[in-house]
Amino acid sequence: MPSETLVQIQKGRAIQNATLSGDSELEQSFMISTGRFTIELRKLVHYRHNTCSICGQGLVRGQPAYAGYNALERPVYTGECCRHFVAELASHIYWWWIDYPRPDRETMIWRYMDFAKLVAMFKDRSLYFARGDKLGDPYEGARGLASREREWKDYCLSFFRNAIVTAPGNNGPVPEEELASRSKQMYDDFVITSQRDRLLNFVSCWHSNHVESEAQWRLYAPSLPTGVAVRTKFGKLDDSLDQRFDVRGGFVQYVDYSNAFAGTYDKLFWKRSSLSHEAEVRIVHQQTQLSEPEVFGVSVPMDINNALDAIIVSPFAQDWFVDVVRETAKKFDVSTKIEKSQLLSEPFF
């Protein structure tokens, strides 16, 4: 057995013994966050979200989860129930802060597009993610209605003022002038961060459905005779994207902004109720620094032959166009099956 593996096992046993014996000081010495996240650990946190990956129990709301690695260096995501199995803590996860539901691996998703975009996907062997402010919806990443901004600001200022007054180590009253200045600065920084998020997050939009949607054909393949759709499952697509790119997926929540404000972790997954027909699953890639102003999107490399279940040709297309799609796929060495939509198949009476 390699020596480093033995050390990890001994560390895991020491943590377990410390937990059982109540030796919190020893336990805490092993529970310092390292911040080390592999792609496998990120995916585990994504798919498990509110469930322990070891025993399968639901996590307790209000208690952080532990994302890290066991004594054999395998990713684990757990709560207090199995914390003693964590030999290296990557980070605490405040999972209940992120309320948007996540697609599971079997969620069927569709992307409707014109033929030119399909050819670009073939040629580049990648999935295009558009910058958040270039998606065509002025509400992308919004907190709420402009008419309610004052209400939101007052709430935030009150929250920040309370945080300053009750901060650990604060031994006396904070002068009002200082309190007002510091809380305003915190709010201004908060707004700047929120606005930057639209420029740091890149999005690929998909439609969640078990069957074809005629409405989606008409909305997103406007050149109807030459429209196409790609169909797959979320987990299959997720596995096929270049693992060097950190992505996360979520179901879009359709809300009434007249009585709700979007949270920091949810706003990219919120849209207006009037768009609920989209039934959108979106995949988000976040960058750590701003791109050049002229960069409107990011292409994430993709194993295209493993990413897609099928390519569907528009029900409004002529038979000759089906042959064009097949020949184009062959030219770019794409082996995904291609079929004509049966949406407008003839009925009998």
Complete DSSP assignment for 83-129:
GGG-SEEEEEE-GGG--S----TT-EEEEEEEHHHHHHHHHHTEEEE
Assign 31 a pLDDT band (cuts: 50, 70, 90).
low
Q: Is there a contact between 254 and 108 (Cβ–Cβ < 8 Å)?
A: no
Q: How far is CA 181 from CA 11, 186, 222, in A?
A: 47, 9, 52
**123 to each of 116, 304, 331, how far by Cα in Å?**
10, 10, 10
Residues contacting residue 115 through CB under 8 Å, at least 6 positions apart: 223, 226, 227, 228, 324, 325
Average pLDDT across the chain, whole number: 88
State percent of the chain over pLDDT 70. Answer: 91
Rounded distance between C-alpha atoms, residue 261 and residue 266, angstroms: 10
Percent above pLDDT 90 for the chain = 70
**Does the pLDDT of residue 82 top 90, yes or no?**
yes
Whole-model pTM: value is 0.82
Q: Residues 196-230: pLDDT tens digits?
A: 999 999 999 999 999 999 999 988 887 678 899 99
pLDDT score, position 9: 37
Q: Band of the pLDDT at 10, cuts 50, 70, 90?
A: very low
pLDDT of residue 332: 97
Q: Which two tokens stand for residue 143?
A: 């907190």
| One-letter amino acid of 310 | A
Residues 157-166 have pLDDT tens digits of 999 999 999 8
Distance, in Å, from the CA atom of 97 to the CA atom of 93, rounded to the nearest integer, reads: 9
